[in-house]
Amino acid sequence: MKKIYKLVFDTNSLISSLLIPLSVSQRALSKAESIGIIVFSEETFDELSKVLIRPKFNKYISFIERMEFLERLELAGEVLNTDSDFNLCRDVKDNKFLNLAYDASAFCIVTGDKDLLILNPFHNIPIITPADFLNLEL
């Protein structure tokens, strides 16, 4: 039986994967979708939704394409309830990714955010860049 990995991507990595076709982030997301499930908490999905509707992205990608991306992630991914309340990250807004990864027993957190990367590993959950995720042999 094929192992299904639960994977956490931070908001910036997801946005980069959408805005820059064939980027490292886009290839990492494609790999993640082929080997596992992208997990979200209500908080992380809400943040992604709010960022995607910002008018500043209109010059890069249409609103419809952004909403289709969000819908695709929602349908293919999984939104989980979180109970943890870690407060370890220098940027307190990033603690939601730690809470999610811990409560989901995630395989890893994929991020380019130095405030998260400095915490690697977090409770035996690797925190890695999209490039490092691409290089993993799974």
Cβ-Cβ contacts under 8 Å for 112 (sequence gap 6 or more) = 10, 12, 13, 16, 25, 129, 130
Task: Determine the structural domain holding residue 75 and report its residue range.
Answer: 5-135
Sequence-separated (6 or more) residues with CB below 8 Å from residue 91: 113, 115
Question: What confidence category does residue 137 fall into, taking pLDDT thresholds of 50, 70 and 90?
Answer: confident
- Mean pLDDT to the nearest integer, 46-66: 96
Q: Any idea what the CATH number is for the domain that residue 105 is in?
A: 3.40.50.1010
Relative orientation angle of helices 63-76 and 11-19, to the nearest 10 degrees: 130
Domains in the chain: how many in total? 1
Question: Is residue 119 pLDDT above 60, yes or no?
Answer: yes
What's the whole-number mean pLDDT along residues 20-33? 96
Q: What angle do CA 104, 73, 34 make, to 5 degrees?
A: 75
**Full DSSP string of 105-117:** T-SEEE---HHHH
pLDDT tier, 39 (very low <50, low <70, confident <90, very high otherwise):
very high
Residues in the chain: 138
Answer yes or no: is pLDDT of 3 > 80.
no
Could you report the per-residue pLDDT of 66-104, keeping only the tens digit for each? Answer: 999 999 999 999 999 999 999 999 999 999 999 999 999
